């Protein structure tokens, strides 16, 4: 097998896309659900888990903590009865942002969590303040947050927590620890993304008592333990609405008709509103959608990202590629991450007409005739955007740093090939 760091995509653009694609399980749901499985000593079975690099990295971390975890055909069986983080794989922790989700399970099970600072995509500084704030409210004490994340807890306590920001992972950590806090905990200004909802539903199936799922106000009645026995048939991870949005945009950028299955389309309301404004041709059903490409697209005054249910920051880069093909001037306003617009420089290499105003705002003028040139992935979602740009560009595009794409998308090139795209993976 070719090492991921030495791979690239070669894409021949301007191909018609037709057919059906089923999205994989959600990366952003599977990672916290895997961590939540550590809260019980009983075996847990998870299904519809995406076969991506981040999942295998987390499983490798599990193995270093003496957790039995086996991945087979998009299912993971976990037995955390012998959880022991004394020899945790620190190198992987430092490379993976989602590893911060180990804080709550370790505190809940062992009374202490000591981790190096997590890594991941370079999207600007991401504070851990929201995590430590919530965990302290539940009884944890901070031993060190300068050189590492070192927390201890002797006795958990219920609390009324007003989150300092609607952080997804901080909300997930708070929920996981609050599940065991005696009494009733309220978490206000909680993140409500579909993947947060899915983790809460999973915990409830294990015996937790969480109310308000899907809202910004969660109420959690503490329990003494969680079980895995009710999960004999497995818990199925929700479909990846971000992958669905990516394929929807791919279909709109190329002539043809693409059907996308495997998601709850209501999770993408903010995308549909913006596509409607752009004049896109699509039809929604409860668990699938159909898009038709080839029509004239219109610029939109403002694509503004914000916390769910507003427009997802993870779809900002793919949608910006769509805006390069829209008629008129569009403004992009990324409100969450200051490093998220760096991919626009790659689009400029391809011929996109872009004016970068500041780290958070840019103007895109279209339509632009994109051409195939060597470009690179900047992060997971920007990597997918580079593939979309290559699909509608004239000529052949080489995309490097595709290990970012492999972290978040299962078999992206295979699914695109099945639709008629000419994309292949080769040695860099």
Fold identical between 4-24+239-427 and 27-236? Answer: yes
Residue 195's nearest CA partner among 78, 335, 101 is 101
- For 354-398, what is the HEC assignment? EEEEECCEEEEEECCCCECCEEECCCHHHHHHHHHHHHHCECEEE
| pLDDT score of 126 | 53
Q: How far is CA 24 from CA 6, 307, 308, in A?
A: 25, 23, 21
Say yes or no: domain 27-236 is CATH 3.65.10.10.
Answer: yes
Q: Give me the pLDDT at residue 388, please.
A: 98
pLDDT value at residue 246: 98
Residue-wise pLDDT tens digits, 288-300: 999 999 999 999 9
Whether 222 contacts 245, CB under 8 Å:
no
pLDDT at 1: 40
pLDDT for 9 beyond 50: yes
- List the single range of 79-88, 91-100, 276-285, 324-333 with lowest mean pLDDT: 91-100
Q: Are 303 and 333 in contact (CB under 8 A)?
A: yes
Q: What is the pLDDT of residue 4?
A: 56
Q: Does the pLDDT value for residue 257 go beyond 90?
A: yes
Spatial separation of the C-alpha atoms in residues 419 and 15, rounded to whole Å: 10
Residue pair 219/210 in contact (Cβ under 8 Å)? The answer is: yes
Mean pLDDT for the chain? 94
pLDDT tens for residues 370-420? 999 999 999 999 999 999 999 999 999 999 999 999 999 999 999 999 999
Element (H, E) at 200: helix 194-205
Name residues whose C-beta falls within 8 Å of residue 51's C-beta, 6 or more positions apart in sequence: 24, 71, 74, 410, 411
Give the pLDDT confidence score for residue 144 in this predicted structure. Answer: 83
Q: Would the pTM count as exceeding 0.85?
A: yes
Could you give the residue numbers annotated as active site?
Answer: 121
Instruction: In whole angstroms, give the CA distance from residue 133 to residue 140.
Output: 9
pLDDT value, residue 12: 98
At 147-184, the pLDDT tens digits run 889 999 999 999 999 999 999 999 999 999 999 999 99
Sketch the domain layout of the chain as residue ranges: 4-24+239-427, 27-236
Domain at 4-24+239-427: CATH code: 3.65.10.10
Looking at the predicted structure, is the pLDDT value of residue 329 above 90?
yes
Query: For the chain, how long is the longest CA-to-CA vector?
Result: 63
Say yes or no to pLDDT of 5 above 80. no
CA distance 330 to 320: 9
pLDDT-derived band at 125, boundaries 50, 70, 90: very low
DSSP 149-165: EEEE-SS----EEE-SS
Amino acid 232: pLDDT: 66
pLDDT in the model for residue 211: 98
Q: What is the per-residue pLDDT across 74-83, written as a single tens digit (0 to 9) for each?
A: 999 999 999 9
Given a contact cutoff of 8 angstroms between Cβ atoms, the answer to whether 103 and 35 are in contact is no
Q: How far is CA 352 from the centre of its chain?
A: 26
Interacting residues of 131 by C-beta distance below 8 A, sequence separation 6+: 100, 103, 167, 169, 170, 173, 174
Q: Which residues pair with 221 in a beta bridge?
A: 184, 209
Instruction: Pick the closest to residue 350 from 366, 336, 333, 329 (CA basis).
Output: 366
- Per-residue pLDDT tens over the stretch 97-121: 899 999 999 999 999 999 988 764 4
């Amino acid at each position: 097998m070719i090492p991921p760091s030495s791979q690239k995509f070669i894409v021949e653009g301007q191909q018609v896309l037709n057919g059906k694609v089923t999205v994989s399980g959600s990366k952003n749901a599977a990672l916290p659900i895997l961590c939540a499985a550590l809260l019980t000593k009983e075996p847990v079975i998870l299904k519809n888990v995406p076969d991506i690099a981040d999942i295998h990295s987390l499983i490798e971390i599990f193995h270093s903590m003496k957790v039995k975890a086996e991945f087979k055909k998009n299912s993971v069986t976990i037995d955390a009865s012998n959880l022991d983080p004394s020899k945790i794989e620190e190198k992987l922790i430092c490379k993976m942002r989602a590893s911060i989700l180990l804080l709550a399970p370790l505190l809940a099970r062992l009374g202490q969590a000591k981790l190096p600072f997590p890594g991941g995509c370079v999207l600007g500084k991401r504070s851990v303040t929201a995590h430590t704030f919530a965990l302290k409210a539940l009884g944890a004490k901070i031993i060190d947050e300068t050189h590492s994340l070192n927390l201890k807890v002797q006795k958990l306590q219920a609390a009324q927590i007003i989150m300092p920001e609607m952080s997804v992972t901080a909300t997930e950590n708070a929920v996981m620890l609050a599940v065991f806090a005696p009494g009733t905990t309220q978490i206000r200004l909680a993140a409500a993304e579909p993947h947060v909802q899915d983790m809460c539903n999973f915990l409830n199936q294990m015996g937790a008592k969480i109310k308000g799922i899907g809202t910004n106000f969660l109420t959690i009645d503490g329990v003494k333990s969680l079980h895995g026995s009710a999960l004999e048939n497995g818990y199925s991870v929700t479909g990846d609405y971000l992958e669905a949005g990516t394929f929807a945009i791919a279909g709109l950028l190329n002539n043809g008709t693409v059907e996308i299955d495997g998601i709850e389309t209501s999770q993408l309301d903010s995308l549909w509103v913006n596509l409607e404004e752009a004049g896109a041709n699509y039809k929604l059903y409860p668990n699938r959608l159909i898009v038709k490409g080839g029509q004239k697209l219109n610029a939109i005054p403002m694509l503004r990202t914000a916390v769910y249910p507003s427009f997802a920051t993870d779809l900002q880069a793919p949608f910006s590629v769509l805006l390069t093909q829209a008629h008129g001037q569009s403004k992009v306003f990324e409100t969450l991450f200051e490093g998220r617009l760096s991919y626009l420089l790659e689009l400029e290499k391809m011929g996109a007409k872009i004016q970068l105003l500041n780290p958070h705002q840019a103007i895109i003028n279209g339509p632009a005739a994109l051409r195939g040139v060597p470009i690179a992935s900047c992060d997971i979602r920007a990597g997918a955007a580079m593939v979309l740009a290559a699909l509608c560009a004239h000529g052949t595009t080489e995309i490097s740093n595709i290990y970012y794409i492999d972290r978040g998308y299962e078999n992206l090139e295979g699914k695109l090939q099945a639709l008629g795209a000419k994309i292949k993976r080769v040695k860099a």
